[in-house]
Amino acid sequence: MSTLEHASEHHHDNSAAHGYGDNNELYVHEFRDDYGSKLGMWFFLFTEVLLFGGLFVAYFFFRVNSPEGFQNAAAHLDIMPGAINTVILLTSSLTMAYAIVSIQRGKKVLSNWYLGATIAFGFWFLINKYFEWSHKIHLDLYPGSERILNEMPDGEGVFFTLYYMMTGLHTLHVIVGMIVIAFIMVSVSTENINKNRYIKMENAGLYWHLVDLIWIFLFPLFYLLH
Protein backbone atom coordinates (compact mmCIF):
# COMPACT_ATOMS: atom_id res chain seq x y z
CA MET A 1 0.00 0.00 0.00
CA SER A 2 2.89 2.37 0.55
CA THR A 3 3.57 2.84 -3.15
CA LEU A 4 0.01 3.95 -3.59
CA GLU A 5 0.34 6.28 -0.65
CA HIS A 6 3.43 7.82 -2.11
CA ALA A 7 1.71 8.16 -5.42
CA SER A 8 -1.09 10.15 -3.98
CA GLU A 9 1.27 12.10 -1.77
CA HIS A 10 2.19 14.04 -4.88
CA HIS A 11 -0.48 16.41 -3.95
CA HIS A 12 -0.49 19.89 -2.89
CA ASP A 13 -1.24 22.13 -0.06
CA ASN A 14 -4.97 21.89 -0.29
CA SER A 15 -6.60 22.71 2.98
CA ALA A 16 -4.94 26.06 3.02
CA ALA A 17 -6.15 27.09 -0.36
CA HIS A 18 -7.59 29.97 1.57
CA GLY A 19 -6.53 32.13 4.42
CA TYR A 20 -7.61 34.86 6.73
CA GLY A 21 -5.99 38.22 6.26
CA ASP A 22 -5.18 40.90 8.77
CA ASN A 23 -8.71 42.25 8.81
CA ASN A 24 -10.10 38.74 9.20
CA GLU A 25 -11.49 38.74 5.75
CA LEU A 26 -11.47 35.42 3.96
CA TYR A 27 -9.48 35.19 0.80
CA VAL A 28 -9.29 32.19 -1.45
CA HIS A 29 -6.47 31.30 -3.78
CA GLU A 30 -7.00 29.61 -7.06
CA PHE A 31 -7.14 25.90 -6.57
CA ARG A 32 -5.74 23.60 -9.18
CA ASP A 33 -5.28 19.84 -9.06
CA ASP A 34 -4.59 18.36 -12.47
CA TYR A 35 -3.88 14.89 -11.18
CA GLY A 36 -7.15 14.94 -9.27
CA SER A 37 -8.95 16.12 -12.35
CA LYS A 38 -7.54 13.20 -14.33
CA LEU A 39 -8.30 10.75 -11.55
CA GLY A 40 -11.89 11.97 -11.40
CA MET A 41 -12.14 11.56 -15.17
CA TRP A 42 -10.94 7.96 -14.91
CA PHE A 43 -13.58 7.26 -12.26
CA PHE A 44 -16.17 8.64 -14.65
CA LEU A 45 -14.80 6.41 -17.42
CA PHE A 46 -15.30 3.44 -15.12
CA THR A 47 -18.99 4.24 -14.99
CA GLU A 48 -19.10 4.22 -18.78
CA VAL A 49 -17.26 0.89 -18.86
CA LEU A 50 -19.80 -0.62 -16.50
CA LEU A 51 -22.68 0.93 -18.41
CA PHE A 52 -21.56 -0.90 -21.54
CA GLY A 53 -20.53 -3.78 -19.33
CA GLY A 54 -24.19 -4.34 -18.50
CA LEU A 55 -24.88 -4.70 -22.21
CA PHE A 56 -21.98 -7.12 -22.55
CA VAL A 57 -23.62 -9.10 -19.76
CA ALA A 58 -26.79 -9.27 -21.84
CA TYR A 59 -24.80 -10.19 -24.96
CA PHE A 60 -22.94 -12.97 -23.14
CA PHE A 61 -26.21 -14.28 -21.72
CA PHE A 62 -28.01 -14.51 -25.04
CA ARG A 63 -25.03 -15.63 -27.05
CA VAL A 64 -24.48 -18.71 -24.91
CA ASN A 65 -28.18 -19.49 -25.03
CA SER A 66 -28.53 -19.15 -28.80
CA PRO A 67 -25.18 -19.70 -30.52
CA GLU A 68 -26.63 -20.64 -33.92
CA GLY A 69 -29.10 -17.81 -33.78
CA PHE A 70 -26.27 -15.38 -33.27
CA GLN A 71 -24.17 -16.97 -36.03
CA ASN A 72 -26.98 -16.84 -38.54
CA ALA A 73 -28.04 -13.33 -37.68
CA ALA A 74 -24.46 -12.08 -37.82
CA ALA A 75 -24.24 -13.26 -41.41
CA HIS A 76 -26.44 -10.32 -42.31
CA LEU A 77 -23.80 -7.84 -41.15
CA ASP A 78 -21.06 -6.77 -43.51
CA ILE A 79 -17.50 -6.87 -42.22
CA MET A 80 -16.38 -4.01 -44.44
CA PRO A 81 -18.31 -1.11 -42.84
CA GLY A 82 -17.39 -2.51 -39.43
CA ALA A 83 -13.72 -2.78 -40.27
CA ILE A 84 -13.62 0.64 -41.88
CA ASN A 85 -15.27 2.15 -38.81
CA THR A 86 -12.68 0.45 -36.64
CA VAL A 87 -9.89 2.02 -38.69
CA ILE A 88 -11.66 5.38 -38.59
CA LEU A 89 -11.88 5.37 -34.81
CA LEU A 90 -8.32 4.17 -34.35
CA THR A 91 -7.12 6.97 -36.59
CA SER A 92 -9.23 9.51 -34.73
CA SER A 93 -7.52 8.37 -31.54
CA LEU A 94 -4.22 9.08 -33.25
CA THR A 95 -5.25 12.59 -34.22
CA MET A 96 -6.50 13.14 -30.67
CA ALA A 97 -3.11 12.12 -29.31
CA TYR A 98 -1.45 14.39 -31.87
CA ALA A 99 -3.59 17.29 -30.69
CA ILE A 100 -2.21 16.83 -27.21
CA VAL A 101 1.38 16.54 -28.38
CA SER A 102 0.84 19.77 -30.28
CA ILE A 103 -0.47 21.71 -27.32
CA GLN A 104 2.38 20.37 -25.19
CA ARG A 105 4.67 22.03 -27.68
CA GLY A 106 2.67 25.23 -27.57
CA LYS A 107 1.35 24.85 -31.10
CA LYS A 108 -2.25 25.89 -30.66
CA VAL A 109 -3.26 26.09 -34.32
CA LEU A 110 -1.80 22.67 -35.07
CA SER A 111 -3.58 21.31 -32.02
CA ASN A 112 -6.90 22.64 -33.23
CA TRP A 113 -6.33 21.15 -36.66
CA TYR A 114 -5.85 17.74 -35.11
CA LEU A 115 -8.89 18.22 -32.91
CA GLY A 116 -10.86 19.19 -35.98
CA ALA A 117 -9.59 16.10 -37.75
CA THR A 118 -10.74 13.99 -34.83
CA ILE A 119 -14.22 15.45 -35.12
CA ALA A 120 -14.13 14.91 -38.87
CA PHE A 121 -13.33 11.24 -38.37
CA GLY A 122 -16.22 11.15 -35.95
CA PHE A 123 -18.47 12.50 -38.65
CA TRP A 124 -17.23 9.90 -41.09
CA PHE A 125 -18.05 7.22 -38.50
CA LEU A 126 -21.57 8.63 -38.12
CA ILE A 127 -22.11 8.73 -41.86
CA ASN A 128 -21.01 5.14 -42.22
CA LYS A 129 -23.29 4.14 -39.40
CA TYR A 130 -26.17 5.97 -41.06
CA PHE A 131 -25.72 4.11 -44.31
CA GLU A 132 -25.22 0.82 -42.55
CA TRP A 133 -28.34 1.15 -40.46
CA SER A 134 -30.54 2.48 -43.23
CA HIS A 135 -29.45 -0.41 -45.43
CA LYS A 136 -30.44 -2.86 -42.69
CA ILE A 137 -33.73 -1.12 -42.13
CA HIS A 138 -34.36 -1.19 -45.84
CA LEU A 139 -33.83 -4.93 -45.72
CA ASP A 140 -36.43 -5.09 -42.98
CA LEU A 141 -33.85 -6.00 -40.38
CA TYR A 142 -34.68 -4.02 -37.29
CA PRO A 143 -36.23 -4.88 -33.91
CA GLY A 144 -39.92 -5.48 -34.41
CA SER A 145 -39.75 -5.74 -38.18
CA GLU A 146 -42.00 -8.20 -39.97
CA ARG A 147 -39.03 -10.11 -41.26
CA ILE A 148 -37.52 -10.64 -37.84
CA LEU A 149 -40.78 -11.41 -36.15
CA ASN A 150 -42.05 -13.83 -38.72
CA GLU A 151 -39.04 -15.40 -40.31
CA MET A 152 -36.39 -15.52 -37.65
CA PRO A 153 -36.09 -17.61 -34.52
CA ASP A 154 -35.81 -15.76 -31.25
CA GLY A 155 -32.03 -15.98 -31.00
CA GLU A 156 -31.60 -14.09 -34.25
CA GLY A 157 -34.06 -11.41 -33.27
CA VAL A 158 -32.26 -10.79 -30.01
CA PHE A 159 -28.98 -10.47 -31.89
CA PHE A 160 -30.39 -7.58 -33.84
CA THR A 161 -31.86 -5.96 -30.76
CA LEU A 162 -28.49 -6.09 -29.06
CA TYR A 163 -26.77 -4.91 -32.21
CA TYR A 164 -28.88 -1.78 -32.48
CA MET A 165 -28.81 -1.10 -28.73
CA MET A 166 -25.08 -1.49 -28.30
CA THR A 167 -23.93 0.24 -31.46
CA GLY A 168 -26.64 2.84 -30.87
CA LEU A 169 -25.47 3.65 -27.36
CA HIS A 170 -21.92 3.71 -28.68
CA THR A 171 -22.88 6.13 -31.46
CA LEU A 172 -24.51 8.38 -28.87
CA HIS A 173 -21.19 8.46 -27.05
CA VAL A 174 -19.37 9.29 -30.29
CA ILE A 175 -21.65 12.28 -30.73
CA VAL A 176 -21.12 13.42 -27.15
CA GLY A 177 -17.38 13.05 -27.63
CA MET A 178 -17.47 15.17 -30.75
CA ILE A 179 -19.36 17.91 -28.94
CA VAL A 180 -16.90 17.84 -26.06
CA ILE A 181 -13.96 18.11 -28.45
CA ALA A 182 -15.65 21.05 -30.17
CA PHE A 183 -15.75 22.85 -26.84
CA ILE A 184 -12.10 22.01 -26.31
CA MET A 185 -11.28 23.60 -29.65
CA VAL A 186 -12.90 26.82 -28.49
CA SER A 187 -10.88 26.76 -25.29
CA VAL A 188 -7.72 26.26 -27.30
CA SER A 189 -8.54 29.29 -29.42
CA THR A 190 -9.12 31.46 -26.39
CA GLU A 191 -5.96 29.99 -24.83
CA ASN A 192 -7.94 28.82 -21.87
CA ILE A 193 -6.16 25.59 -22.73
CA ASN A 194 -2.49 26.16 -23.36
CA LYS A 195 0.97 24.70 -23.04
CA ASN A 196 0.90 25.02 -19.26
CA ARG A 197 -2.64 23.97 -18.66
CA TYR A 198 -4.17 21.32 -20.87
CA ILE A 199 -5.73 18.85 -18.48
CA LYS A 200 -9.16 19.46 -20.04
CA MET A 201 -7.87 18.33 -23.40
CA GLU A 202 -6.27 15.28 -21.86
CA ASN A 203 -9.54 14.40 -20.16
CA ALA A 204 -11.45 14.87 -23.41
CA GLY A 205 -8.85 12.63 -25.01
CA LEU A 206 -9.42 9.97 -22.37
CA TYR A 207 -13.13 10.04 -23.14
CA TRP A 208 -12.52 9.78 -26.85
CA HIS A 209 -10.09 6.87 -26.45
CA LEU A 210 -12.68 5.11 -24.34
CA VAL A 211 -15.20 5.45 -27.15
CA ASP A 212 -12.58 3.87 -29.41
CA LEU A 213 -11.93 1.12 -26.85
CA ILE A 214 -15.57 0.13 -26.65
CA TRP A 215 -15.75 -0.17 -30.41
CA ILE A 216 -12.62 -2.34 -30.37
CA PHE A 217 -14.68 -4.88 -28.45
CA LEU A 218 -17.99 -4.34 -30.23
CA PHE A 219 -16.43 -5.01 -33.62
CA PRO A 220 -15.48 -8.68 -33.16
CA LEU A 221 -18.59 -9.44 -31.13
CA PHE A 222 -20.97 -8.37 -33.85
CA TYR A 223 -19.11 -8.41 -37.14
CA LEU A 224 -16.74 -11.32 -36.87
CA LEU A 225 -18.99 -14.10 -35.73
CA HIS A 226 -18.92 -16.10 -38.91
**Within positions 98 to 157, which residues make up the interface with another protein, using CB under 8 A?**
98, 100-101, 104, 142-145, 148-149, 153-155, 157
Spatial contact of 150 and 65, defined as CB atoms under 8 Å apart: no
By CB under 8 A, tell whether 221 contacts another protein: yes
Q: Please state the closest distance from residue 130 (CB atom) to another protein, in A.
A: 19
In sequence order, which residues have a C-beta less than 8 Å from that of residue 169 and are 6 or more positions away? 51, 52, 55
By CB under 8 A, tell whether 186 contacts another protein: no
Residue span binding another protein (CB under 8 A) among the ranges 11-19, 116-124, 128-136, 181-189: 11-19
By CB under 8 A, tell whether 177 contacts another protein: no
One of 120, 126, 180, 225 touching another protein (CB under 8 A): 225
By CB under 8 A, tell whether 39 contacts another protein: yes
Cα distance between residue 27 and residue 178, in whole Å:
38
Q: Please state the closest distance from residue 85 (CB atom) to another protein, in A.
A: 10
Phi-psi region of 66 (alpha: psi -120 to 50; beta: other; left: phi over 0): beta
Q: Please state the closest distance from residue 126 (CB atom) to another protein, in A.
A: 20
Binding residue count for another protein, defined by CB under 8 A: 101
Alpha-carbon distances, residue 107 vs 97, 181, 185, 191 (angstroms): 14, 17, 13, 11
Q: Which residues are registered as beta bridge partners of 107?
A: none
Backbone CA torsion sign across 39, 40, 46, 52 = negative
Spatial contact of 9 and 3, defined as CB atoms under 8 Å apart: no
Pick 51 or 186: Cβ nearer another protein: 51
Q: Please state the closest distance from residue 169 (CB atom) to another protein, in A.
A: 8
Q: Please state the closest distance from residue 112 (CB atom) to another protein, in A.
A: 16
Q: Which residues are registered as beta bridge partners of 20?
A: 26
Show contacts with another protein in window 44-103 (CB under 8 A).
Answer: 44, 46-58, 60-62, 64-65, 67, 79, 83, 86-87, 90-91, 93-94, 96-98, 100-101
Cα distance between residue 92 and residue 179, in whole Å:
14
